């Protein structure tokens, strides 16, 4: 009864082909079908940012996008940003500056920060806080998240 | 005996992080089992209603739907238990069932369960379940609930009262207030908050018919306790038939301490259907049906002398506990609130009465700080009110009334165990020095002349951590239905690697790192050789879990004591191996040698190997280096400090901006400053948010107006400045590490620092008190006389 | 949170989009989806068919013809915010786009989608009204242009007819502009937002348009204020006296975050600030 549609998406550099229901949210496709569970779901209303991934290089809330809309796009998730032995500068910044506690918001936070630094390699503290408006963290008070991003920016521009 | 300290006190980065920053954490929703079904709950849209009938036929007809269950289907299991009734008084207990039977008590109360092959189908089917409700009269406000004519929620709770509890000395307090030079009275509301861990809650249950065993993955801060409650109380089966596993937990803040309906209904459905069942809340469900925090209405009176001595404190609190009682709900506003309402002050006469109240709202239970933020907010606001009344600087009033250092251990007369140690003056002085208090006061005076309003707010706090001695908190006294000791097991593998298993349940606190630091020092082994395990009831000794800032003071001490046992046994065996007397064995850097012969060495690995192969052990020694401790603390610990907030108010809009935030805390010995500071930052943010943005609002029909993150204002990065933290160190005499605890201190200290600053800024407008949150409109009204009620 | 079922098709052109839109009952256009998808997930909105117009190249991008700027309907907030043409010649829309939601929302949400949704607390409407923008609309029977003043007809309602779609927004060059937003602490929408477009000639205000969002059931224009300030200087005393009691609380919306009376006071304050800042640039 349910009709599906074929999509082809490059995910973390790998071409993935799938048949999905049109209503399949990108975040569900990534998590359930591709087992990329680093992308999290924290709200229903596009507020929290735990699900942020990059679509064609731009930070996107994957809970507010259908997998069908990603057809033909390149998606990068936290798993594709860097690995434990080859961390992205932002990942390293979060580790060095204690930018995470429970770690649930962290993947989305890192993806948002990575996009910020790609656009603006040397942001001010105010610019960093403004860029984090769509990512909620309940553990850190954002203090060390800001420092983590500053750490990453320093590393990238040094 | 032990080596010089190497790891304790170092700001090393966390070992937990590599997997979390690369997306390799395993959270509840990441659990996927073969044949797993998905459950969605049909929830009451009414705050109070009779359930007259449930028709699931349309839902069952949808392809992919496996079953629809109601509360009556689950009548073979018991209601969820309340494990902490208020001590020494009658408690009219009413607790929720896995699904409501007969009546729904709040919006979001679970009424039916749809189980389907995937979550999309389950969600579609939930819309097809037809429930026939008959709406009943609703009450959401605790004060209104106690008034004559209010809807009665439970037959056994007249006037909707859960319990009527008191502490302190009523007569002495009444006399002190009657005789006082100055008295100040206020009604102070500590508004309802929604904890909002970024990960919602959920459960995955599997049942194996062949063995009759359940495995339940859960978002729990206390899986051992859940196993006990679910097995013994809800299902009436042996604890050995239930294994509970907490994977990575995406924040708890108290909300994940408790036993919840979904744990029971996933277990029940998994057994019924013979397939694993998963349930994960969405955010709206988390807001409607997981626990909330705070929600006090308090009439309070403080008395004192014109020269700034506080002589009496009288408190009468209504604590809204929701439609049912959550697991430890009555204990929070009693033991953890009433008993510490005198704060850091030596007050000769105090009394606190607390009535718990049922209303048609979500259950209220522990939320970060749990009772202590309400207490410290109350006393710190009233100290400021008193200072304003007598025209004395609030810092000076605090200084004059601090419990002096020579009075510790100090009994506050409220039935609490004695405060372990404290020296409150230096923390206040340091905070004022960092913030530049005198210069700010001068700036404030100048600004006021120009029509600009800045405010400076102080908060000197003390709190209760390291809960708690079982003999004190247990049933006969404080009503807690169990102990509150903690466990640790330490075993040394043949290769010399040390594995620590703990009943604590880290969920962001960095305990893997902190515990490893402690063990490395106490045993003298490399930090990287220590592995910390937790979270699975089948692999760890029983423990009460992580909350109440107890994991280091209680769980950490259990580890220290276990390590000591391992070390002593290792020395005995080393003596045997080196053919020396144990008195002559020196233990250093994880090695044993004979005094004066440092070349004759046995490493921990050598000793562990010998202990394991066991062909030559001293007479009577058991094989293996493997020790366990169950540690019951002799007292709680009492961290303290002073926080200072500086705010600017936009005179046109009432918008409050937090210019600076200074925190000087004393959490005793600091194992890892990076982690301690992180705990304080997060705690401060949650208290600031209570002061400025957060508040759960129910309308008169019992609808949760702030039912999503579109309406409930969890703070964003732009609300905060960089926090300025510093500390004093007063060791706790309670435990060998000298630690006190840091998980909740920030939250306990911060709301009143900010509110005192806001109200200080509004002093030219005659504002003496303002309820939280200090939204722009509320401040604007106070400045423009829009609400006379804000002034007194 | 999961939407109900629907069919999904991608349109390659405006004509194809209109045809697909007409072909199914309860169909809806999907551009960035940042208004539609959340409301479908909450099951407040159910569409049986979605027509994805994000691939229609003609609907994307900012172009300039003389003193007129044309913004394609499916241009994202981010691309509006970063448009060098707009930033130099008519920066108001770019500045407003930069404070919508958050970066991820700006990366997906589109100007056409936002205007079509007509959320009474959205940011664009204030600017659209203040700029006197023209909204281009296409339908199966041809195209037409709707003036900003006529565009918003109610809460979540516009003058776009069933079967029509927004294709572009055109705005004039204007540099004396400012947007003042009082942000909702949770949603990020405007509790009140005021946009002002001012021309100052010879030290006095020669033209002024002021648009307000968030305050009322729909975006509104402060024509009374505009005429009251015509020919006046934009000094603080003048603005303070003019920006007082601009709107009656009875005409505004109130909720737990801000009562109607408070919103009315915000309109006064934000209008004054917006005009002062715009005049300083104009």
| Residues in chain C within 8 Å Cβ distance of A44 | 1, 38, 41-42
B785 — contact with chain C (CB < 8 Å)?
no
Query: Are residues C257 and B777, on separate chains, in Cβ contact within 8 Å?
Result: yes
- pLDDT higher than 90, residue C282: no
Q: What is the pLDDT of residue B428?
A: 98
B553 and B533 in one domain? Answer: yes
| Residues in chain B within 8 Å Cβ distance of C1 | 282-284
SS3 sequence of chain C: CCCCCCEEEECCCHHHHHHHHHHCCCEEEECCCCCHHHHHHCCCCCCCEEEECCCCHHHCCEEEECCEEEEECCCEHHHHHHCHHHHHHCHHHHHHHCCCCCHHHHHHCEHHHHHHHCCCCCCHHHHHHHHCCEEEEEECCEEEEEEHHHHEEECCEECCCCCCEEEEEEEECCCCEEEEEEECCCCCCEEEEEEEEEEEECCEEEEEEEEEECCCCCCEECHHHHHHHCCCCCCHHHHHHHCCCCCCHHHCCCCCCCCHHHHHHHHHHHHHHHHHHHHHHC
Distance of alpha carbon B530 from alpha carbon B432, whole angstroms: 41
Q: What is the pLDDT of residue A146?
A: 98
Which of A81, A98, A127 is the endpoint of a domain? A81
Q: What is the pLDDT of residue B785?
A: 78
B776 and B666 in one domain? Answer: yes
C257 — contact with chain B (CB < 8 Å)?
yes
Q: What is the pLDDT of residue B770?
A: 98
Which of A32, A55, A81 is the endpoint of a domain? A81
Distance of alpha carbon A57 from alpha carbon A74, whole angstroms: 8
- Domain limits at A151? 89-157
Q: What is the pLDDT of residues C192-249, one digit of tens each?
A: 999 999 999 999 999 999 999 999 999 999 999 999 999 999 999 999 999 999 999 9
A67 and A104 in one domain? Answer: no
Average pLDDT over residues B470-476: 92
B611 and B553 in one domain? Answer: yes
C10, C33, C105: residue with CB nearest A134: C105
Query: Are residues C185 and B716, on separate chains, in Cβ contact within 8 Å?
Result: yes
Q: How many domains does chain B have?
A: 3
A48 — contact with chain C (CB < 8 Å)?
no
Q: What is the pLDDT of residues B363-408, one digit of tens each?
A: 999 999 999 999 999 999 999 999 999 999 999 999 999 999 999 9
- For residue A102, what is the domain's CATH number? 1.10.150.120
Q: What is the pLDDT of residue B431?
A: 98
A58 and A107 in one domain? Answer: no
B453 and B319 in one domain? Answer: yes
| Residues in chain A within 8 Å Cβ distance of B30 | 31, 37
Minimum distance, in Å, between the CA of residue C256 and any CA atom of chain B: 8
Residue B70 belongs to a domain? yes
Residue B8 belongs to a domain? no
A13 and A32 in one domain? Answer: yes
- Domain limits at B125? 31-136+199-250+256-289
Q: What is the pLDDT of residues B233-273, one digit of tens each?
A: 999 999 999 999 999 999 999 999 999 999 999 999 999 99
B252, B708, B717: residue with CB nearest A45: B708
CA B493 to mean position of chain CA atoms: 35
Q: What is the pLDDT of residue B786?
A: 53
Q: What is the pLDDT of residue B2?
A: 43
Residues 6+ positions from B83 with CB-CB distance below 8 Å: B225, B229, B327, B328, B480, B481, B482
- pLDDT higher than 60, residue B788: no
- pLDDT higher than 50, residue B732: yes
B683 and B607 in one domain? Answer: no
Half-sphere exposure of B777 (CA within 13 A, CB side): 19
In B447-596, DSSP assigns E strands to 453-462, 486-492, 498-502, 530-533, 585-588, 591-594
Query: Are residues C102 and A133, on separate chains, in Cβ contact within 8 Å?
Result: yes
Buried b (16+ CB within 10 A) or exposed e, B281-302: bbbbbbbbbbbbbbbbbbebbb
Q: What is the pLDDT of residue B506?
A: 86
Residue B10's pLDDT band (cuts 50, 70, 90): very high
Task: Give the dihedral sign, CA B699/B704/B707/B712.
Answer: positive
Please name the residue ranges forming H helices in B223-359. 223-228, 261-273, 283-289
Residue B478 belongs to a domain? no
A74 and A108 in one domain? Answer: no
A95 and A60 in one domain? Answer: no
How many beta-carbon pairs below 8 A join chains B and C?
51
Average pLDDT value over all residues in chain B = 96
Query: Are residues C37 and A65, on separate chains, in Cβ contact within 8 Å?
Result: yes
B14 — contact with chain A (CB < 8 Å)?
yes
The enclosing H or E element of A50 equals none
A98 and A69 in one domain? Answer: no
Residue B476 belongs to a domain? no
A39 and A62 in one domain? Answer: yes
pTM: 0.97
User: Closest chain B residue to A22 measured between Cα atoms?
Assistant: B120
Nearest to A51 by CA among B113, B29, B306: B29
Residue to substitute from B20, B108, B123, B693, interface A, most A β-carbons within 10 A: B20
The enclosing H or E element of A81 equals helix A78-81
- pLDDT higher than 80, residue B789: no
Nearest to C155 by CA among C76, C247, C252: C252
Half-sphere exposure of B483 (CA within 13 A, CB side): 15
- pLDDT higher than 80, residue C106: yes
B576 and B428 in one domain? Answer: no
Q: What is the DSSP letter of B668?
A: B
Minimum distance, in Å, between the CA of residue B198 and any CA atom of chain C: 15
C54 touches C108 (CB < 8 A) = no
Query: Are residues B120 and C259, on separate chains, in Cβ contact within 8 Å?
Result: no
Q: Give backbone dihedrals phi and psi of B39, rounded to 5 degrees, phi first.
A: -110, 140
Distance of alpha carbon A23 from alpha carbon A40, whole angstroms: 18
Residue B328: left if φ>0, alpha if ψ -120 to 50, beta else—which one? alpha
Half-sphere exposure of B17 (CA within 13 A, CB side): 23
Structure tokens that stand for C181 in this block: 């937003």
C7, C108, C186: residue with CB nearest A60: C108
Preceding amide of B571 cis, omega within 30: no
Buried b (16+ CB within 10 A) or exposed e, C84-121: ebbeebbbbbbbbbbbbbbbbbbbbbbbbbbbbbbbbb
How many beta-carbon pairs below 8 A join chains A and B?
185
B396 and B366 in one domain? Answer: yes
Average pLDDT over residues B485-493: 94
| Residues in chain A within 8 Å Cβ distance of C77 | none
Buried b (16+ CB within 10 A) or exposed e, C165-175: bbbbbbbebbe
Residue B121's pLDDT band (cuts 50, 70, 90): very high
B752 and B739 in one domain? Answer: yes
Residue B149 belongs to a domain? no
- For residue B757, what is the domain's CATH number? 3.30.365.10
- pLDDT higher than 50, residue B3: no
Query: Are residues B655 and C182, on separate chains, in Cβ contact within 8 Å?
Result: yes
Q: What is the pLDDT of residues B537-593, one digit of tens each?
A: 988 888 888 887 899 999 999 999 999 999 999 999 999 999 999 999 999 999 999
A45 and A94 in one domain? Answer: no
Which of B80-84, B659-663, C44-48 bottoms out in mean pLDDT, i.e. has the lowest?
C44-48
Q: State whether residue B732 is helix, strand or coil.
A: coil
Which of A24, A57, A81 is the endpoint of a domain? A81
Place of tokens 């008190």: B769
DSSP-assigned states of every residue in B530-555? EEEE-SBTTTS-----S-TT-IIIII
Count CB atoms within 10 A of the CB of residue C231.
Answer: 11
B633 touches B587 (CB < 8 A) = no
Structure tokens that stand for C146 in this block: 């709707």
Distance of alpha carbon C160 from alpha carbon B126, whole angstroms: 35
Structure tokens that stand for B606 in this block: 């050598």
A95 and A59 in one domain? Answer: no
B421 and B384 in one domain? Answer: yes
Minimum distance, in Å, between the CA of residue C270 and any CA atom of chain B: 9
Minimum distance, in Å, between the CA of residue B195 and any CA atom of chain A: 9
Average pLDDT over residues C246-257: 94
Average pLDDT over residues B143-164: 98
Residue A157's pLDDT band (cuts 50, 70, 90): low
Preceding amide of B546 cis, omega within 30: no
A107 and A131 in one domain? Answer: yes
Nearest to B664 by CA among B431, B463, B457: B431
Q: What is the pLDDT of residue B792?
A: 32
Which of B609, B631, B653 is the endpoint of a domain? B631
Q: How many domains does chain A have?
A: 2
Q: What is the pLDDT of residue B547?
A: 82
Residue B10 belongs to a domain? no
Average pLDDT over residues B433-444: 98
Q: State whether residue B661 is helix, strand or coil.
A: strand
B651 and B533 in one domain? Answer: no
C244 — contact with chain B (CB < 8 Å)?
no
B322 and B273 in one domain? Answer: no
| Residues in chain B within 8 Å Cβ distance of C256 | 697, 705-706, 711
Query: Are residues A61 and C105, on separate chains, in Cβ contact within 8 Å?
Result: yes
Q: In what order do the strands lie in the sheet with C49-52?
A: C7-10, C49-52, C27-30
Q: What is the pLDDT of residue B5?
A: 55
Distance of alpha carbon A44 from alpha carbon B710, whole angstroms: 9
B187 touches B297 (CB < 8 A) = yes
Q: What is the DSSP letter of B564?
A: H
- pLDDT higher than 70, residue B330: yes
- Domains of chain C (ranges; CATH) run 7-52 (3.30.43.10), 57-172 (3.30.465.10), 177-281 (3.30.390.50)
- pLDDT higher than 90, residue B1: no
Residue B519 belongs to a domain? yes
The enclosing H or E element of B644 equals strand B640-649
| Residues in chain C within 8 Å Cβ distance of B713 | 184-186
Q: State whether residue B717 is helix, strand or coil.
A: helix
User: Closest chain C residue to A51 measured between Cα atoms?
Assistant: C104
Minimum distance, in Å, between the CA of residue A122 and any CA atom of chain B: 18
| Residues in chain C within 8 Å Cβ distance of A61 | 104-105, 108
Distance set, CA C20 to CA C14, C25, C135, C159 (Å): 10, 10, 22, 21
Q: What is the pLDDT of residues A77-129, one digit of tens each?
A: 999 999 989 999 999 999 999 999 999 999 999 999 999 999 999 999 999 99
B390 — contact with chain A (CB < 8 Å)?
no
Q: What is the pLDDT of residue A141?
A: 98
Q: What is the pLDDT of residue B59?
A: 98
A105 and A49 in one domain? Answer: no
Residues 6+ positions from A24 with CB-CB distance below 8 Å: A66, A67, A68, B120
A146 — contact with chain C (CB < 8 Å)?
no
Place of tokens 């913004």: C71
Q: State whether residue B318 is helix, strand or coil.
A: strand
Which of B289, B309, B342 is the endpoint of a domain? B289
Q: Tell me the helix, strand and coil percentages in chain A, rounded to 5.
A: 40, 20, 40
Distance of alpha carbon B356 from alpha carbon B377, whole angstroms: 19
Distance set, CA B756 to CA B380, B383, B452, B724 (Å): 8, 10, 17, 18
A113 and A135 in one domain? Answer: yes
Place of tokens 């921990």: B604
Query: Are residues B780 and C269, on separate chains, in Cβ contact within 8 Å?
Result: no
ipTM exceeds 0.95: yes
Distance of alpha carbon C81 from alpha carbon B651, whole angstroms: 31
B602 and B701 in one domain? Answer: no
**What crossing angle do the helices spanning B372-390 and B394-401 adopt, rounded to 10°?**
110
Q: In what order do the strands lie in the sheet with B530-533?
A: B530-533, B498-502, B486-492, B626-631
C17 — contact with chain B (CB < 8 Å)?
no
Residues 6+ positions from B71 with CB-CB distance below 8 Å: B97, B98, B99, B100, B101, B102, B110, B111, B112
- For residue A42, what is the domain's CATH number? 3.10.20.30
Q: What is the pLDDT of residue A156?
A: 62
C10, C33, C54: residue with CB nearest A64: C33
Q: State whether residue A55 is helix, strand or coil.
A: strand
Residue B340 belongs to a domain? yes
């Amino acid at each position: 009864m349910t009709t599906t549609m074929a999509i082809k998406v490059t995910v973390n550099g790998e071409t993935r082909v799938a048949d999905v229901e049109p209503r399949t949210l990108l975040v569900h496709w990534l998590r359930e079908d591709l087992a990329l569970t680093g992308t999290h779901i924290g709200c229903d209303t596009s507020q929290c940012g735990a699900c942020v991934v990059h679509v064609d290089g731009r930070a996107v809330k994957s809970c507010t996008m259908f997998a069908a809309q990603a057809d033909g796009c390149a998606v990068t998730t936290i798993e594709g940003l860097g690995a434990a032995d080859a961390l992205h500068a932002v990942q390293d910044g979060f580790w060095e500056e204690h930018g995470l506690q429970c770690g649930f918001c962290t993947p989305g936070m890192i993806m948002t920060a990575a996009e910020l630094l790609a656009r603006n390699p040397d942001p001010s503290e105010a610019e960093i806080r403004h860029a984090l408006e769509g990512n909620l963290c309940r553990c850190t008070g954002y203090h060390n998240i800001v420092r983590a991003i500053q750490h990453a920016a320093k590393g990238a521009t040094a | 005996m032990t080596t010089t300290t190497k790891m304790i006190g170092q700001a090393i980065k966390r070992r937990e992080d590599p997997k979390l920053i690369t997306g390799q954490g395993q959270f509840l929703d990441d659990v996927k089992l073969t044949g797993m079904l998905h459950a969605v709950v049909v929830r009451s849209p009414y705050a109070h209603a009779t359930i007259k009938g449930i028709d699931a036929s349309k839902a069952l007809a949808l392809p992919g739907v496996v079953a629809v269950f109601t509360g009556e289907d689950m009548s073979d299991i018991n209601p969820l238990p309340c494990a902490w009734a208020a001590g020494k008084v009658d408690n009219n207990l009413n607790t929720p069932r896995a699904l409501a039977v007969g009546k729904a008590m709040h919006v979001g109360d679970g009424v039916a369960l749809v189980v389907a092959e995937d979550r999309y189908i389950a969600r579609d089917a939930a819309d097809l379940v037809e429930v026939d409700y008959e709406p009943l009269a609703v009450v959401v406000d605790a004060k209104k609930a106690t008034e004559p004519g209010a809807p009665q929620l439970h037959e056994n709770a007249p006037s909707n009262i859960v319990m009527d509890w008191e502490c302190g000395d009523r007569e002495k307090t009444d006399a002190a207030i009657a005789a006082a030079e100055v008295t100040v009275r206020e009604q102070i509301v500590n508004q309802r908050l929604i904890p909002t861990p970024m990960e919602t809650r959920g459960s995955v249950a599997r049942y194996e018919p062949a063995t009759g065993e359940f495995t339940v993955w859960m978002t729990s801060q206390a899986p051992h306790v859940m196993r006990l409650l679910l097995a013994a109380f809800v299902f009436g089966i042996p604890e050995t038939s239930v294994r509970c596993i907490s994977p990575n937990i995406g924040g708890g803040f108290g909300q994940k301490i408790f036993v919840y309906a979904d744990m029971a209904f996933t277990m029940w459905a998994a057994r019924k259907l013979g397939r694993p069942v998963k349930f994960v809340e969405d955010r709206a469900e988390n807001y409607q049906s997981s626990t909330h925090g705070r929600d006090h209405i308090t009439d309070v009176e403080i008395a004192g002398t014109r020269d700034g001595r506080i002589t009496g404190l009288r408190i009468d609190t209504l604590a809204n506990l929701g439609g049912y009682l959550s697991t430890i709900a009555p204990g929070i506003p009693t033991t953890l609130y009433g008993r510490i309402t005198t704060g850091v002050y030596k007050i000769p006469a105090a009394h606190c009465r607390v009535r718990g109240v049922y209303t048609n709202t979500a259950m209220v239970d522990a939320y970060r700080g749990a009772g202590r933020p309400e207490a410290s907010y109350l006393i710190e606001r009233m100290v400021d009110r008193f200072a304003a009344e007598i025209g004395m600087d609030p810092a000076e009033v605090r200084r004059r009334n601090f419990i002096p250092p020579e009075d510790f251990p100090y009994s506050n007369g409220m039935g609490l165990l004695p405060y372990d140690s404290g020296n409150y003056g230096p923390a206040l002085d340091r905070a004022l020095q960092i913030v530049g208090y005198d210069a700010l006061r001068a700036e404030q005076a100048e600004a006021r002349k120009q029509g600009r309003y800045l405010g400076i707010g102080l908060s000197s706090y003390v709190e209760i951590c390291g809960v708690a001695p079982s003999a004190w908190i247990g049933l006969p006294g404080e009503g807690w239905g169990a102990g509150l000791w903690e466990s640790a097991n330490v075993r040394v593998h043949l290769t010399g690697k040390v594995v620590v298993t703990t009943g604590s349940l880290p969920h962001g606190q960095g305990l893997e790192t902190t515990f490893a630091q402690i063990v490395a020092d106490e045993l003298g082994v490399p930090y990287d050789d220590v592995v910390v395990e937790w979270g699975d009831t089948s692999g760890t000794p029983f423990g009460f879990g992580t909350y109440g800032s107890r994991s280091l003071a209680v769980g950490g001490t259990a580890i220290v004591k276990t390590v000591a046992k391992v070390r002593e046994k290792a020395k005995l065996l080393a003596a045997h191996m080196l053919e020396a007397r144990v008195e002559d064995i020196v233990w250093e850097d994880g090695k044993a040698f004979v005094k004066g012969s440092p070349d004759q060495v046995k490493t921990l690995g050598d000793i562990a190997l010998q202990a394991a192969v066991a062909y030559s052990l001293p007479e009577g020694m058991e094989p293996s280096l493997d020790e366990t401790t169950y540690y019951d603390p002799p007292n709680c610990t009492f961290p303290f400090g002073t926080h200072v907030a500086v705010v600017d108010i936009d005179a046109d809009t009432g918008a409050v901006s937090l210019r600076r935030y200074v925190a000087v805390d004393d959490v005793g010995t600091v194992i890892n400053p990076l982690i301690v500071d992180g705990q304080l930052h997060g705690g401060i943010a949650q208290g600031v948010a209570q002061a400025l943005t957060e508040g759960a609002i129910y309308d008169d029909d019992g609808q949760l107006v702030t039912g999503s993150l579109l309406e409930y204002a969890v703070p964003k990065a732009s609300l905060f400045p960089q926090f300025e933290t510093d500390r004093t160190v007063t060791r706790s005499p309670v435990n060998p590490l000298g630690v006190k605890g840091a998980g909740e201190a920030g939250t306990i200290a911060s709301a009143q620092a900010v509110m005192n600053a806001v109200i200080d800024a509004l002093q030219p407008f005659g504002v003496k008190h303002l309820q939280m949150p200090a939204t722009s409109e509320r401040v604007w009204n106070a400045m423009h006389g829009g609400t006379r009620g804000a002034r007194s | 949170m999961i939407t109900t079922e629907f069919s999904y098709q991608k349109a390659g052109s405006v004509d194809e989009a209109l045809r697909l839109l007409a072909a199914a009952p309860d169909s809806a256009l999907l551009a960035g989806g940042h208004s539609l998808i959340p409301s479908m997930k909450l099951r407040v909105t159910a569409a049986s068919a979605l027509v994805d117009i994000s691939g229609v190249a003609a609907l994307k991008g900012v172009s300039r013809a003389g003193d007129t700027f044309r913004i394609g309907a499916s241009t994202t907030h981010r691309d509006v915010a970063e448009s060098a043409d707009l930033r130099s010649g008519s920066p108001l829309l770019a500045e407003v786009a930069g404070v919508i939601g958050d970066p991820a929302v700006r990366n997906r949400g589109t100007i056409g989608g936002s205007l079509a949704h007509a959320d009474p607390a959205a940011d664009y409407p204030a600017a659209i009204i203040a700029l006197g923008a023209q909204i281009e609309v296409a339908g199966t029977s041809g195209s037409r242009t709707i003036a900003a003043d006529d565009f918003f007809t109610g809460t979540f309602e516009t003058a776009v007819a069933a079967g029509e779609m927004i294709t572009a927004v055109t705005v004039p060059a204007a540099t004396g502009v400012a947007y003042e937003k009082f942000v909702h602490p949770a949603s990020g929408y405007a509790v009140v937002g005021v946009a002002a477009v001012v021309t100052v000639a010879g030290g006095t205000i020669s033209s002024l348009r002021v648009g307000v969002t968030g305050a009322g059931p729909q975006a509104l224009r402060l024509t009374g204020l505009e005429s009251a300030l015509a020919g006046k200087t934009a000094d603080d005393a003048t603005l303070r006296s003019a920006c007082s009691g601009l709107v009656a609380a009875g005409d505004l919306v109130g909720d737990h975050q801000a009562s109607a009376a408070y919103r009315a006071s915000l309109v006064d304050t934000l209008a004054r600030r917006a005009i002062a800042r715009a005049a300083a640039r104009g």
